[in-house]
């Protein structure tokens, strides 16, 4: 029998769940039935949306979750995704310029960031990140998780937020980079980090109920996370039906419950 405390056991379970979802995002691409390439901040919200869609239409969709930058590159190279839900609209607009999509697509959400510290961490979370600054000065931050800014929109937003309070240079030696924002959250809740910055939508998932403390970071601290979706040139009837379903008020309400702001 394990001697781990209930809190440690729960944290390990959450890490396993995140790790499984991350592996799923890598492996599902090989399946011929993949329709939707979606930013990893959407994975829990889209589970609920897909259930509603199937109940109403009898149609099913398959998802591949990962970083928007990687998906954009794959679509540019001919990957057979039919609908792309990006966490940064620039990737959709770039694909549209290269005639890889049917049009410029639609904004479907504005994402938000949280600063998170697991229980037992010396990091005190606050929206101005003064607690993070103090913890850095005191040498209490050894590892801090964000998504990779090179290809993950939430990583770029985290970098911008840290830069806005003058902490980017000092925190770089301590960064642990996730391939996407879901993996960054996985790192942030682990026993080996003192905190991290990741998507509010992951924090709100009822499946996770992450133990720890968090605070929403101000929207002005980083460029807006304008999330845009678009149908590719290979889109079939199911992808088009799901695209229309995502624009219904009731679907937008589901996204709002997961912390996404409506573009309107």
Strands (E), the chain: 36-39, 63-66, 83-85, 106-111, 113-117, 144-147, 175-178, 195-199, 213-216, 225-231
CA distances from 10 to 114, 119, 211 (A): 21, 12, 8
Fold of 111-221: D-Maltodextrin-Binding Protein; domain 2 (3.40.190)
Nearest to 212 by CA among 192, 190, 228: 190
Structure tokens at 108: 């479907």
Residue with tokens 């080996």: 192
Report yes or no: 92 and 101 within 8 Å, Cβ to Cβ.
yes
pLDDT of residue 35: 85
Residue-wise DSSP of 73-102 = HHHHTT---SEEE-SSHHHHHHHHHTT-BS
| Residues 42 and 85 sit within 8 Å (Cβ to Cβ) | yes
Spell out where 148-217 has E strands: 175-178, 195-199, 213-216
pLDDT value at residue 91: 97
Residue showing tokens 């391939």: 179
On the question of a common fold for 6-110+226-257 and 111-221, the answer reads: yes
Are 239 and 85 contacting, i.e. CB atoms less than 8 angstroms apart? no
pLDDT at site 140 = 97
pLDDT at residue 211, as a whole number: 75
Q: Domain 6-110+226-257's class?
A: alpha beta
Which residue, 118, 119, 123, 86, is CA-closest to 101?
Answer: 86
Domain ranges in the chain are: 6-110+226-257, 111-221
Q: Whose CA is closest to 123, among 211, 239, 214?
A: 214
Question: What global pTM score does this model have?
Answer: 0.83
Q: Digits of tens for pLDDT over the chain (264 positions)?
A: 444 454 544 455 455 455 454 444 444 333 446 589 999 999 999 999 999 999 999 999 999 999 999 999 999 999 999 999 999 999 999 999 999 999 999 999 999 999 999 988 999 999 999 999 999 999 999 999 999 999 999 999 999 999 999 999 999 999 999 999 999 999 998 888 999 999 999 998 765 566 789 999 999 999 999 999 999 999 999 999 999 999 999 999 999 999 999 887
């Amino acid at each position: 029998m394990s001697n781990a405390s209930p809190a440690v056991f729960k944290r390990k379970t959450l890490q396993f769940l995140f790790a499984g979802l991350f592996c799923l995002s890598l492996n599902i691409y090989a399946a011929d039935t993949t329709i939707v390439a979606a930013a990893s901040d959407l994975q829990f919200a889209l589970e609920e949306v897909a259930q509603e869609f199937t109940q109403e239409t009898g149609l099913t969709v398959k998802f591949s979750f990962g970083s928007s930058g990687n998906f954009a590159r794959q679509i540019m190279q001919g990957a057979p995704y039919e609908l792309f839900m990006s966490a940064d609209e620039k990737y959709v607009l770039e694909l549209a310029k290269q005639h890889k999509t049917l049009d410029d697509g639609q904004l479907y959400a504005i994402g938000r960031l949280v600063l998170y510290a697991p229980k037992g961490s010396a990091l005190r979370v606050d929206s101005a990140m003064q607690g993070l600054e103090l913890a850095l000065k005191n040498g209490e931050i050894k590892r801090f998780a964000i998504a990779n800014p090179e290809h993950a929109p939430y990583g770029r937003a985290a970098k911008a937020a840290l830069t806005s309070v003058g902490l980017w240079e000092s925190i770089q030696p301590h960064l642990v980079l996730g391939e996407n924002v879901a993996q960054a959250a996985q790192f942030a809740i682990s026993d080996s980090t003192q905190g991290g910055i990741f998507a509010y939508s992951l924090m709100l998932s009822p499946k996770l109920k992450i133990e720890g403390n968090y605070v929403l970071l101000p929207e002005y601290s980083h460029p807006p996370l304008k999330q845009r979706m678009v149908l590719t040139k290979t889109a079939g009837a199911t992808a088009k039906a799901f695209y229309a379903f995502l624009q219904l008020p009731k679907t937008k309400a589901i996204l709002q419950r997961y912390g996404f702001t409506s573009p309107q």
